[in-house]
Amino acid sequence: MLYDIFIDPFVQMYDMPDFFLQVLWEGFVAGILYALIALGFVLIFKASGVFNFAQGIMVVFAGLTLVGLNENGIPAYLALALTIVAMGVLAYGVERVVMRPLVNQPDIILLMATIGLTYFLIGFGEFVFGGEPKQMITEQLGLPTGSTAIEMGERGLIILQHIDIAAAVIAVIMVTALGIFFNKTRIGRALRAVADDHQAALSVGISLNQIWAIVWFAAGLVALATGIMWGARSDVSFALEIVAFKALPVLILGGFTSIPGAIVGGLIIGFGEKIGELYWGGLVGGGIESWLAYIIALIFLLFRPQGLFGERIIERI
C-alpha cells in the first residue's frame, strides 16, 4: 500500500516519460483554461469587491451566443463582433440593474446577487438558444484544428492539439494585454485606483459606475475567449458550469486580487489535478478530479490564508 502511494507513481513517471509529458501538457492546458476563468473573477473582484459567481455562466453564455448566432446564418466573424456587442450590453445592464442599487452592501449579498444573475443567464441562454450541447465553430473562426505528434526518439511520442497551443498563445496575449491596459492607460490607472479605495477614487473624480461597466465588459471579453477555447475542446453546453467551479480553488490559491496569482494558481491546479488523477486516482477508485483541486487549495490556505499572492490580511478591532 505504501509502495503504491509513495514509490510506484514515480517509477511509472520515470519508465514512461512520454506519458508523463503528455499528462503534464494536459495539465498545462487545463490550467490555462482555469486561469482564464479565474482571470475574469479577479478583474471584477479587484475593481468592485464583488465575488462574481456568474463568471462561469458568462463563459457559457458568450460561447452559446456566438454559436447560436452562427447557426442562424450570420457569418462567423460578424457573429463574433455581435457577441462582443452582446457582452457589452450585458456588462452595462449588470452595472445599471444589479450593481448600482447594491453598492456598499455586504459581500454575501453581492455574492447572492451574482448567483441570482447566474440563474437568470442560465434561463435566458436556454430560452433563446436551446439547452442542447452545441459544436463550437472552430474552423470558421480560423482557429487551427489539427494535431502534431512529437517523436521522442525511442521513448514514444506526445500529441499536441493545435487548438491547445492556440489557447495557450491567446491566454498569454490576453494577460499581457490586460497587464499593459492596467499599467499604462488612463482607464487602467483609474481601475487600479478604484480597486485600492472606492471613496478616494470617487474624490479625485473617477466615475465608479463607468469603471464598473468597463470591468464587467473586460470580464465578458475574457469569458468570450474562454468560451471559444473551452467550447473547441468539448461542446458548448451548460455542463461547462460545473467545470467553472474549478476556477474557485484556483482563485483562493492565487488570491482574489492578483492576476499573476490567477495564472500560477491555474497552472498548479491544472498540473496537480491531472497528475493526481492519473497516478494516484486509481488507488481510491478514480474520479478524484472533482475534488482534488479543492483539497490542494485547502492545504495551501491553511498555511497562507490570503492565498499565494493575495495582500496580507490585517485584522483590527
For residue 121, the minimal CB distance to other proteins (Å) is 7
Using the minimum distance from each CB to other proteins, give the nearer residue, 16 or 102: 102
Residue 252 in contact with residue 87, Cβ under 8 Å? no
Using the minimum distance from each CB to other proteins, give the nearer residue, 146 or 285: 285
Return the residues of window 91-110 that contact other proteins according to CB under 8 A: 97-98, 101-102, 105-109
Residue 255 in contact with residue 307, Cβ under 8 Å? yes
**DSSP symbol at 238:** T
Using the minimum distance from each CB to other proteins, give the nearer residue, 204 or 284: 284
Helices within the chain (DSSP H only):
2-6, 8-15, 17-48, 55-71, 76-93, 107-129, 162-184, 186-196, 198-203, 208-233, 240-244, 247-254, 259-275, 289-303
For residue 57, the minimal CB distance to other proteins (Å) is 10
If binding means CB under 8 A, how many residues of this protein chain bind other proteins? 50
For 250, phi and psi rounded to 5 degrees? -55, -45
Q: Amino acid identity of 233? A: R
C-alpha cell at 39: 482571470
Using the minimum distance from each CB to other proteins, give the nearer residue, 110 or 275: 110
Stretch that binds other proteins, among 27-35, 143-151, 204-212, 290-298 (CB under 8 A): 290-298
CA atoms within 13 A on the CB side of 42: 33
C-alpha cell at 276: 493526481
Which listed residue (124, 162, 193, 206) binds other proteins by CB under 8 A?
124
Q: Is 243 left (phi over 0), alpha (psi -120 to 50) or beta?
A: alpha
For 158, phi and psi rounded to 5 degrees? -115, 140
147 has which bridge partners? 161
CB neighbourhood size of 102 (10 A): 14
For residue 12, the minimal CB distance to other proteins (Å) is 22
Q: Which residues contact 205 (CB under 8 A, 6 or more apart)?
A: none
Using the minimum distance from each CB to other proteins, give the nearer residue, 47 or 113: 113
For residue 161, the minimal CB distance to other proteins (Å) is 27
Using the minimum distance from each CB to other proteins, give the nearer residue, 111 or 174: 111
Stretch that binds other proteins, among 13-21, 67-75, 187-195, 248-256 (CB under 8 A): 248-256
Using the minimum distance from each CB to other proteins, give the nearer residue, 279 or 300: 300
**Site for other proteins contains 89 (CB under 8 A):** no
Which listed residue (72, 73, 127, 142) binds other proteins by CB under 8 A?
127
For residue 19, the minimal CB distance to other proteins (Å) is 24
- Rounded to whole angstroms, the Cα distance separating 279 from 6 reads 11
C-alpha cell at 194: 478604484
- Rounded to whole angstroms, the Cα distance separating 74 from 79 reads 6
Q: Is 125 left (phi over 0), alpha (psi -120 to 50) or beta?
A: alpha
Return the residues of window 206-245 that contact other proteins according to CB under 8 A: 242, 245
Using the minimum distance from each CB to other proteins, give the nearer residue, 204 or 317: 317
Residue 92 in contact with residue 259, Cβ under 8 Å? no
**Site for other proteins contains 282 (CB under 8 A):** no
**Site for other proteins contains 51 (CB under 8 A):** yes
* Chain residues that interact with other proteins, rule: CB under 8 A: 51, 97-98, 101-102, 105-109, 111-113, 115-124, 126-127, 131, 242, 245, 248-249, 251-252, 256, 284-288, 290-291, 294-295, 297-298, 301-302, 305, 307, 315, 317
